[in-house]
Structure formats: structure tokens, C-alpha cells
Amino acid sequence: MPKFTLDGREISFDPGETVMEAAWREGIEIPHYCWHPGLSVAANCRMCLVHVESGRQMEMPQLAFDEKKGEYVPTTKPKLQPACQLAAAEDIVVSSTNDEVKTAQASVQEFLLLNHPVDCPICDQAGECKLQDYYYEHQATLKRKLTEPVHKPKGVRFGPTIIYDAERCIMCTRCIRVCDEVAKDHVLDMRERGNKNEIVLAPGRELDHRYTLMTEHVCPVGALTSQDFRFKARVWFLKSGQGVCTGCATGCNTHVDYDPRYGKVYRLRPRDNADVNKYWMCDDGMMTYTRHDTDRLLMPTTGRGDERMPVGEDEALDLAAEKLKAVDASKLAVVLSAQHTTEDNLALAKLAAALGADQLYLAALGGWEGDDILRSDDNNPNRAGATQAAGGVTLKSVDDLLADAQSGAVQGVVALGWASAEQLEELAPLTALDGVVSLTSHVGAFPAVASVAIPVADIFEIDGSFVNDKSMPQAFRPVLAPPTGVDPAWKTISALAGKLGKDLGFQDLQSLRQGLSDAVEAAQ
Amino acid sequence: MLNNVGWSLAVEKLLQIEVPERCQYYRVILGELSRIADHFTCNGASAMELGAFTPFLWLLKVRDWVWDILERETGARMTHSFGRIGGMAAPPTASFKDDVRQLIPEVHKVVKETEIMLLRNRIFLDRMQGVGVLTKEQALSYGVTGPVARSTGIPYDVRKDHPYMVYDRFDFDVPIGEDGDNWDRFMVRLEEIRQSVRIIEQAIEQMPDDGPINVDDPRIVYPDKDEVYTTIEATIAHFKLVMEGLRTPKGEVYSFTEGGNGELGFHIVSDGSGTPYRVRVRPPCWYNLAASREMLLGGMIADIIPTFGSVNMIGGECDR
Amino acid sequence: MAVEVKVIKKPGRTIAEQVYIPEIAKGLGFAMGRFFKNTFGPQAKKEIATVKYPEEKVEYPERFRGIHRLTQRTDGSPRCVACLCCSTACPAQCIYIEPAEYDPDDPRYGYERYPSVFMIDELRCIFCGYCVEACPCDAIRMDTGMHMPPSTQREHFLYDKETLLSIPGRDGSYLTANPRHEPGDPTHPGVDRERGH
Ligand code: SF4
Ligand code: SF4
Ligand code: SF4
Ligand code: SF4
Ligand code: FES
């Protein structure tokens, strides 16, 4: 591989790469605003100026004052070049830290702040704002301009999700490029020039495609804010965990930003993964975090309709075991969930095998449209994983379950998950059966018809993995603690098996996962 | 105050900066005032515990006048919270020098009075002299510092031996005792009050009347409030300091100063972020307290009272 | 600099001291002298350091850090924008704030935020003044010149937004000294929804 030198360090590059890209790959960040690894090069912010010291240096003529002669004389000074657009070439020596460059960085930074509003106190970006970071690193001087800054529109509604503030905007055009290149929808553009520049919507349009939140995500400053996250939290209080989006079968990698003080998730952000989602996520996926604390089932319940009442955890398990024992194994339906982890599904499949129940079903959500950008046609994150967990048994649908229940082939149900049907009433026929046990994190169709509902941990509270539509298993880690008395589903299933007098052959996640590779093998 | 400044000096050492001269004098004067207040309290309480209530009240009266000055400067009598990395929370008030000048004769007067009241009293003498003896060797092996060490005859004073700030510009003595008993500790403190007054007198004369108090770097000290209210640059600097704290270079530093009861050291390990990776405090009292075992062994139960009083154990420093 | 050492010698004792009585009489005499001088002497006022609290009170100095207050804009709205700087800086973690957006019919809607909840636990507060220093808006101050009024109930020390806004500064003013104008303020020089975008 050819090499060049950046600040005394050898960097190898693929022909065609820019200096910025090669450095980025090596983990070196040359200060930049407009360049984004996932977008085309605009080279309009000039923050990334570097000095090519040998190889392909350029000189710029200038007049300098000569003390001796007492007049201006023509000389030259090095011409700096934007690293984001400078093609890396064999053996060039580049500096991003010498005095020339430092002056340039400080000047660009000062220039960008020239008309910037004093908004950090009310700006959601504060804490993760590039202007703040680079000010601290590269400028650190106080204001020299004493006149009133130029004022521009603030608080402009771009669409249902995004608010724009032209005063904070540094005109890097990342948002325009994200709409053009990722969402393939040219809905944003720039108008005017100089300090009147602003980002505008295409006439008659709103920012309403499926990737609007990506504009906010790429905005290096606080010019675009998300209607959802707006004013909710301060980012410097947030910690970040690694998650996988539950929106669809693509399984975009996420950063789960939560506040450890309140145990609350505030937002998701895309986590770069070149093989899955690159740098992006869709709006619906970004909003899946809101499911977490809405409509949670926190207490085990028993009884239906008006007779529903809370019971203790142990009592609920006893009751469930009793109801399931009353049903003949051949007439017991076991419903896996495409919303739950492979591990949870595997535990349930093992329970089915131990009981000798061979009627397996799969509960999945519908009502979703895919596209050829990121979104899969299937909005269940783990259909593939659940299918693998079943180990080759064909999984019937929930519609089949209803039919079987009506025909009498099914007389008892144990179901994982809440997500199974669009309408709560759809499963109403199951109320005819006495033994319907639902293990669920949320209130939903199954818990609504269950005679015993037992809460289990939600996706942010467990260790687990999903298998996406490209058959890639992806693991994630818990960020929050489950509510008191609530366990991950696999643990609850194991406890239930214990009550039924069965040993499922695993004690912890590790031994359960060993079973997973077996199951995966059997499926193939 | 001494603790505030000790900590600030440690971080400043890590940052390799020095605060402006005016601030150094300001720190010295406020610090010595605090030392006087500390010694007043300790000696007053020692005497009170032996039944001499009057000197206690008299000493505390003047201590309150010292505190009046500290309150005027810092905004609180005891929990000053006034030292800042790279400077002080505020510049000296207009009346600062005059206030201190007025206070000095009062300090002299009350020290004199204490001597009259106590030093010829047989009960006091009997219970202080020859009681709670710590030898030089024991003091060294326990790592004892400050007045307790000096009372045994070790002339160790950080201000003299490793001068920091502007202490090398002042003329003052290090009082030491001979036997390391309660009496010596009491007398060393009393004499130190006089020496502190000497330092203050010189510092007041040398301290410039104007000039900056804080270092000129928005990355270390909060910018001026007026700038923060109206300009984005200052607001960003302000936010950076609030959100992330003050970023120091990677590295390790040990910095020590003479606190009220001895060497106050801070060992900081920095990973280059805004919060320290590890901080270890060397509080003087922890070591002094450990050595009090040697002072008490073989004595009488009643001797615990004057001995403990003269060790001046500060609970917070012993909570390790 | 050579260390200048001053050795403190033990004084010897005279018979008079050893006998105790003469010395104690001297000491008593000295103390009584002070007593009469302080009570009846020409400088009695100056020599007595105490005041007859609570009839007499010592004025707190200018810089005294008293209980907090929140300043107001000229229209009475809180100057605080719920930026959470103060609660970040607070070492006692005694400030709790919930930020919120103004009502849609408020001229500040869309531009500004405000604290819907602002709570200080004055019992937990250590009166360090860091919050005041950390506020980028001059919204929180400790210049009330008042200490905490005592109470026997913990709840009385939880100061909410309304309470904090209703405490004037020592000079009797409620207003902030922050000269910044935000959009939505009639004084704001820029464009806003009223004047067209
Ligand atoms: S964009 Fe950055 S610098 Fe500008 S107001 Fe927001 S946080 Fe502050
Ligand atoms: S809104 Fe943000 S992303 Fe778009 S041009 Fe302005 S600064 Fe760049
Ligand atoms: S004075 Fe200190 S402890 Fe009290 S609220 Fe302010 S920052 Fe917190
Ligand atoms: S009082 Fe000041 S620092 Fe605290 S939230 Fe309000 S504006 Fe921010
Ligand atoms: S990053 Fe190169 S010009 Fe903006």
C-alpha cells in the first residue's frame, strides 16, 4: 500500500482516497465540519485545511511589509489545502498542526462564530457540538467583533420532526447531502449567500421523508434539532450503550443514550457498521425507543376482563404451571416471538420440546413498508432468529393459531411477547381457552387475552442477540436494570419449566447459547 | 482556604501555570489569616478543656474578627469555597488591606493576653508540661508534620523548606519546641500566630493594588460574566468548563503546602479528561492522629484531654 | 534561604507559681479588670464582640452567599432557560430542573425554553456558590442577604420555582442584569415570527 506522512506519522492509503479518509481510517481526526464519511465531499467549511509541506506544496503570492525597505514587497506564503478534498499521494508530507495550519484553524473557527447566536444555554447540541469542541481546541480567544451579529430566522419548522435555526447554521450542507444521497429526496437546499445564507425547503414541501432525523444526526452544530429530543435532556448527563434497533429486520446498530440517574432512555443514534446500516437509521427505527417505557406490564396478573388482578411473582408461576398441566401437550400451542431475542425464543422452544408440545407458532408484527435504502420489508427484528431457535420445525402464524383454537386442535397457549396483532380484539377467540399464559414486557394482544400474564424484561434491559434478514447474528448489551421482580424472558421460562418439573438444561446465558449453536446447526 | 489553595496549586502545577502575582499575595494573606484562626481555635479549645474558659472566649472573639474579614472577602465565614484553579473566585474588596491592618494589633493583643492568663497558671503548666511527649524519632517515623512535628524540634515547614507562591520573599521564623509535649505544641502554635502576622504585614505592603487575579485563559478560568452574557465565544468557553470540567494534560503530580496542621499534599493522576483519574489527599491530621498513640501510652486517662486538644485532630481529614 | 528557627524554651517556675494562689489571684484580677472595662469603660461598645441577637443583627457583607433566588425578565418571566449548568456544577446535587417549551401562544414559543420545575433543596445545599458562577444567564443568584429561615419540617427547605422567583435581591430588585435579548422579546433586534421570517 502506498504511504504518506501526516504530522510525522506514516499513513497508508488506497489509491483514490483523500487525506481525510485515510487519516480517519487510522483513527486520526483532522478537524472538519462539512466532511462526513458517508457523504460526498463538499469542501466548503475550510476547517480541514492542511499544509502540504513537501511533494505537492502550493505557494500563494502575497504582499508583506518589509521593515527595512519600509514598503510592501511581493512574497509568497504556503497555500493550505482542504484535507477532505486533497487526494492522498505517495510520499507527500502533510501537516495538520503547524503554525500556518493552526492560524487557519483559529481563523476559520472565529469566522464561523462571527454571527453565531449566544444560544448554548438553550441549544440541545451543547455538549456534543463541534463548534464548542473546536473552539476549545483551536481557538480559545474571546470575541473581537463588537457589532450586533446578523440575525436570521430561528425556530423554523421544517417538518413534523425537525426544527431549524438559521443563526446557528454553519452552512456545511451536510443536511442537504443526506437528503440527496441517503434519502434520495432533494427536499432541502440553500439560498442566498454570504451571511444571509440559509437552508430552505423545496417550495411546497415539508421535510417528511423517512430519514429526516438523519439530517439532525449529521448536523455538526445545533442548527437542526429533533422535535422529539428537543429540550428533554442535556447530553452531558447521558451515557451510551450498544443496542440493535428493533424497528425492522435490518437490525441497524444503535447507540442507546440513557440517563443513568433516572434509568430512562432518551434517544437512539446510529452506530456505524459498514455491513449493516453504514452510518444511518430510519426515523421509525430511531423512535422505537419510546416503546420502552410506554404500556409496560410491571406486575403479574391473573384473570380476564374485570376479574383481572395482580398476583405475586411466584404465585403467578404456580398458577401458570397449573393451567398448562391441565392441557394435553399435543394440544398446547407454543408461540415464539419475532420481537424477542434468539435466546428467549430458544428457551421457549426448549420448554416446548421438554413438554412434548410440537405445535409451534410465531407472533410477528405487520403493517410496514420497506424500501431499498435501509428498511427491510419485515418489521420484526428477529424472525430469522426465532425460526432458528425452533430448530427446523415450521412455525405457523397467529392466524393459524386462531383457526386451530376454534377447531379444538389447540386447548392451551403459552406465548412470548406482546407484538402479535395490530388490533387487540383480533385474539379475542382465545379467551375461550382457560390456559393462556403470556410472557410479555408490554401490554398487548396476548396479555389482553391471557389468563396469566407474567412480565419479562424489555430489550434495553437484557443481554441477547437478533438475527437480521441477512442472517447476521448481532448481540447487544443491557443499558438499564429491569423493573424490580422482573427477569429476562429466558430466566422466567426456565423458572416456569421448574414449576412444571422439567429441566431445560441451561443455568445461565452462556449455557443457553451453547444450545443456540446446536439449534442453528439443526436449522441449516 | 488553605485547602482550597493547596488543591488549586496542585492542579496549577499539573497545568504548568502560575497565577498572577497579586493573586499569590492574596492567597498568602487569606491563608495566613486562616492559619491564625485555626491556631486560635485549637489553643483556645485546649485551654478550655483544662477549665480555662476565659482565654477561649477571648481568642474566639478575635477569631471572629478574622472571620469577619474572610466573610467579607469570600462570602462565607467558614465554608469559604473561594480558591479557584487559575485564580480566586473574586478580586480583593476595596477595604481589604485596611481591614487586615486594623486586625493585626488585635491579634497581638489577644496573644499577649493569653500568655498573661495561662502561662503562669500551675494547673495549666502541670497538665501541659511533660505530658503527651512525642520524641523526634517517633515524629519522623510516623510522618508527623506541622506544629506537632515542630514541637519535637524538627524545623520542617513547607513554606520554608519548599517555598511555594511568594513565601520565599518573606522574613519569618519557624518556631520549634524541645520536648514535644503538650506545652511545646501549645507554644509553637502561639508563636506561629505571631509569625503569620509578620508574614501578613510584609505581604500587605508588597501586594500590588491592581492587576489581574486570574490567569488569562478561557480554558481554565470562567470568562467574565458580561462576556458570557453577550458573546458566543465566552459562552462556549463557559459551557466547556461547566460540562466537562477543566481539562488537564495527562500525567501525575504531587503538590504539597503547609496547611494549618502540617503538610497538606495532593497527588493527582490525570488521564487528560475533565475529571481526575485518581486523587489522593495527604491530610496532615491523619498522620498526627496516628502518632497520638505514642503520646498517650503510659499516661493517665485524664491526659487524653490536653493531648488530644493539642494534636488538633480534624475529623474530616481522618476519614480515610 | 536558610531556615530561621526560633527555639521556644521552657520557662522555669517560681515559688509563687508553684503555690498557685498568688498567680490565680493575678489572673482573676486581670479578668475582672477586663470585665469592668468592657462593661463600663469608655470603649465598652467596641470591646464587646457580641450583639443582642435577634433584636440586633449584624449586616451580612456584600459578598455573603445567602439563600438562592431566581431573577426575572422585565415581563416577569423567569430569566432561567433551564440549561442545567447550575445543577451540573452543584457539588451537592441539590438542584432539580425540568426544562420545557413555552406555550404555543407565548411569543417565546419555539425559541426559548424555561424550567417547568425548579427545585433547590436548601438543606442539602452547601452554599458554595458554584451554581451562581455556572449560570450563563444571570438567572440564579445568592445575593439575598438572608440565611435560611429555620423550620422543623424538611419540606420547608425545598424551595420551588415560585418561591425562588419571589425572593428579591438585597437591593429589592427582582430583575436580571443579563442584557441579552432573545427572539420573542420585544427588544430582540432580529427577525421573528411577528416580523416575518
Ligand atoms: S450550535 Fe453549538 S455553539 Fe452554537 S449555540 Fe448550539 S451548542 Fe452553542
Ligand atoms: S443545518 Fe446543520 S447540517 Fe445543515 S448546513 Fe446547517 S450546519 Fe450544516
Ligand atoms: S450553592 Fe453550591 S450546593 Fe448550593 S445549590 Fe448552589 S451549587 Fe449547589
Ligand atoms: S439558573 Fe442559570 S444555570 Fe441554572 S438552569 Fe437556569 S439558566 Fe441555567
Ligand atoms: S471538512 Fe474539508 S472543507 Fe469542510
Query: What backbone phi and psi angles, to 5 degrees, belong to B116?
Result: -60, -45
CATH assignment of the domain containing A452: 3.40.50.740
Residue B189 · residue B39 · CB < 8 Å: yes
CATH assignment of the domain containing B104: 1.10.645.10
CA A90 to chain centre: 38
Q: Return left, alpha or beta for C121; rule: phi > 0 is left, psi -120 to 50 is alpha, else beta.
A: beta
Last residue of a domain, one of A253, A271, A291: A291
Nearest CA in chain A to B241: A136
CB half-sphere exposure, A98, CA atoms < 13 A: 13
Determine contact: A152 vs chain C, CB below 8 A.
yes
Reduce the DSSP state of residue B23 to 3 states and report it: helix
Determine contact: A236 vs chain C, CB below 8 A.
yes
Reduce the DSSP state of residue A33 to 3 states and report it: coil
Smallest CA–CA distance, residue A295 to chain B, in Å, is: 34
Task: Pick the ligand that lies closest to the CA of residue A129.
Answer: 1
Residue A279 · residue A37 · CB < 8 Å: yes
What residue's CA is closest to ligand 4, atom 4?
C86
Coarse DSSP helix, strand, coil percentages of chain A, rounded to the nearest 5 percent:
30, 25, 45
Question: Quick one: pLDDT at residue A524?
Answer: 43
Q: What is the DSSP letter of A54?
A: E
Say how many Å lie between the CA of residue A499 and the centre of ligand 1.
58
Interface touch B227/A117, C-beta < 8 Å: no
Mean pLDDT to the nearest integer, C41-64: 82
User: Based on the domain organization, do A58 and A18 belong to the same domain?
Assistant: yes
Long-range Cβ pairs for the range B77-82 (8 Å, 24+):
B79/C126, B79/C127, B79/C128, B80/B1, B80/B4, B81/B4, B81/C126, B81/C128, B81/C129, B81/C130, B82/B1, B82/B4, B82/B30
Interface touch B76/C26, C-beta < 8 Å: no
Determine contact: B65 vs chain C, CB below 8 A.
yes
Task: Give the span between the Cα atoms of A19 and A13, in whole angstroms.
Answer: 8
Number of neighbouring beta carbons within 10 Å of residue A412: 23
Matching residue, cell 431573577: C71
CATH assignment of the domain containing A186: 3.30.70.20
Interface touch C99/A167, C-beta < 8 Å: no
Pocket test for ligand 5, best of A28, A29, A45 (most atoms within 8 A of CB): A45
Look at residues A466, A35, A13, A22 and name the one whose alpha carbon lies nearest to residue A218. A35
Question: Quick one: pLDDT at residue A422?
Answer: 63
- Chain C neighbours among B 165-184 (CB < 8 Å)? 168, 171-179, 183-184
Reduce the DSSP state of residue A4 to 3 states and report it: strand
Task: Give the span between the Cα atoms of A125 and A231, in whole angstroms.
Answer: 10
What's the number of domains chain B is made of? 1
In a domain, residue A410? The reply is yes
- Distance set, CA B107 to CA B44, B174, B194 (Å): 13, 19, 8
What residue's CA is closest to ligand 4, atom 2?
C135
Q: Is A416 in the pocket of ligand 5 (CB under 6 A)?
A: no
Last residue of a domain, one of A112, A145, A175: A112
Task: Give the span between the Cα atoms of C18 and C5, in whole angstroms.
Answer: 31
* pLDDT averaged per 10 residues, chain B (length 320): 93 95 96 95 92 90 93 93 94 95 93 88 88 93 94 93 93 92 94 95 94 93 92 95 93 94 95 93 92 91 91 86
Task: Give the span between the Cα atoms of C116 and C99, in whole angstroms.
Answer: 6
Query: What backbone phi and psi angles, to 5 degrees, belong to A252?
Result: -60, 140
Number of neighbouring beta carbons within 10 Å of residue A190: 15
Interface touch C128/B184, C-beta < 8 Å: no
CATH topology classification for C69-165: Alpha-Beta Plaits (3.30.70)
Query: What backbone phi and psi angles, to 5 degrees, belong to A464?
Result: 180, -170
Q: What is the DSSP letter of B150?
A: H
| pLDDT above 70 (res A518) | no
Helices in A14-61 by DSSP H: which ranges? 19-25
pLDDT band of residue A190 (cuts 50, 70, 90) is very high
Higher pLDDT, A518 or A220: A220
Mean pLDDT to the nearest integer, C174-189: 82
Over residues A246-281, the pLDDT tens digits come to 999 999 999 999 999 999 999 999 999 999 999 999
- Chain B neighbours among C 141-170 (CB < 8 Å)? 142
Interface touch A167/C180, C-beta < 8 Å: no
Number of neighbouring beta carbons within 10 Å of residue A150: 16
Q: Return left, alpha or beta for B129; rule: phi > 0 is left, psi -120 to 50 is alpha, else beta.
A: beta
Q: Note the residue count of chain B.
A: 320
The end-to-end CA distance of chain C, in Å, is 71
Say how many Å lie between the CA of residue B318 and the centre of ligand 3.
25
Question: Quick one: pLDDT at residue C195?
Answer: 56
Task: Give the span between the Cα atoms of B74 and B96, in whole angstroms.
Answer: 11
Say how many Å lie between the CA of residue B249 and the centre of ligand 4.
29
In a domain, residue A515? The reply is yes
Question: Quick one: pLDDT at residue C3?
Answer: 63
Pocket test for ligand 3, best of C126, C141, C142 (most atoms within 8 A of CB): C126
Sheet holding A156-157, edge to edge: A156-157, A162-164, A224-226
DSSP string across B281-316: EE-HHHHHHHHHHHHHTTS-GGGHHHHHHHHT--HH
Matching residue, cell 419479562: A456
Query: How big is the A-C interface in CB pairs under 8 Å?
Result: 52
Question: Quick one: pLDDT at residue C1?
Answer: 45
Beta bridge partners of C101: C113
Q: Which domain holds residue B161?
A: 2-319
Look up residue A247 and give its amino acid: G
Closest Cβ–Cβ partner in B219, B232, B235 for A140 = B219
Look at residues A519, A179, A94 and name the one whose alpha carbon lies nearest to residue A343. A519
- Distance set, CA B174 to CA B159, B163, B206, B287 (Å): 9, 13, 21, 21
In a domain, residue A468? The reply is yes
Q: Which domain holds residue A36?
A: 3-112
Over residues C75-114, the pLDDT tens digits come to 889 999 999 999 999 999 999 999 999 998 888 888 889 9
Mean pLDDT to the nearest integer, C165-186: 87
In this prediction the pTM is 0.91
User: Based on the domain organization, do A328 and A442 belong to the same domain?
Assistant: yes
Q: Best of C126, C130, C133, C180 to disrupt the B interface by mutation (most B CBs within 10 Å)?
A: C133
The sign of the torsion formed by the CA atoms of A378, A381, A384, A388 equals negative
Q: What is the DSSP letter of A472?
A: -
CATH 3.30.70.3270 domain extents, chain C: 69-165
Smallest CA–CA distance, residue C95 to chain A, in Å, is: 14
Beta bridge partners of A453: A301, A438
Q: Helix C21-40 and helix B96-118: axis angle, to 10°?
A: 150
How do strand A301-302 and strand C113-121 relate by DSSP bridges? unpaired
Q: What is the DSSP letter of B221?
A: S
How do strand B174-176 and strand B251-259 relate by DSSP bridges? unpaired
Interface touch A142/B230, C-beta < 8 Å: no
For chain A, what is the mean pLDDT? 91
Mean pLDDT to the nearest integer, A352-363: 91
Smallest CA–CA distance, residue A106 to chain B, in Å, is: 12
Q: Which residues line ligand 3 (CB under 6 A)?
A: C 89-92, 94-95, 120, 125-131
Contact residues on chain B for C142, CB-CB shorter than 8 A: 75
Which of ligand 4's atoms lies nearest the C-alpha of C79? Answer: 7
| pLDDT above 80 (res A517) | no
Question: Quick one: pLDDT at residue A421?
Answer: 60
Closest Cβ–Cβ partner in A141, A142, A236 for B243 = A236
Q: Is A471 exposed, middle or buried (0-12, 13-18, 19+ CB in 10 A)?
A: exposed
Interface touch C180/B163, C-beta < 8 Å: no
Task: Give the span between the Cα atoms of A140 and A131, in whole angstroms.
Answer: 11
- Chain C neighbours among B 217-236 (CB < 8 Å)? 222, 225, 228-230, 235
Say how many Å lie between the CA of residue C147 and the centre of ligand 4.
21
Q: Note the residue count of chain A.
A: 524
Question: Quick one: pLDDT at residue C43?
Answer: 73
Question: Quick one: pLDDT at residue A522?
Answer: 54
Contact residues on chain C for A231, CB-CB shorter than 8 A: 82, 99-101, 113
Task: Give the span between the Cα atoms of C182 and C107, in whole angstroms.
Answer: 10
Determine contact: A264 vs chain C, CB below 8 A.
no
Residue B90 · residue B50 · CB < 8 Å: no
Closest Cβ–Cβ partner in B75, B168, B228 for C65 = B75
Q: Note the residue count of chain C.
A: 197
Pocket test for ligand 1, best of A47, A112, A123, A130 (most atoms within 8 A of CB): A123
Smallest CA–CA distance, residue A353 to chain B, in Å, is: 52
